[in-house]
Amino acid sequence: MNFITTDQMVIVVVGDEATNIEGLRKLGYDIVKLNAKGEPVEQTNMEGGK
């Protein structure tokens, strides 16, 4: 039987960064910001952690 393994999961959030970023930071996961092409955007002062 196959199960979802949480160590391999990816959470994707799409929306307004200004209204969502603080809530995401509080979750403690690493945050990777991507542009419309899926390429990493230079991050300034973005905190994550888990």
Strand partners, 34: 40
| Residue scoring higher pLDDT (7 or 50) | 7
Separation between Cα atoms, residue 29 and residue 26, nearest integer Å: 8
The count of structural domains within the chain is 1
CA 35 vs CA 17, 32, 43: distances in Å: 12, 10, 11
pLDDT at 41: 92
pTM for this entry: 0.58
Identify the domain containing residue 47 by its residue range. Answer: 1-50
Q: Is 24 exposed, middle or buried (0-12, 13-18, 19+ CB in 10 A)?
A: middle
Each residue's pLDDT tens digit, 13-45: 999 999 999 999 999 988 999 999 999 998 665
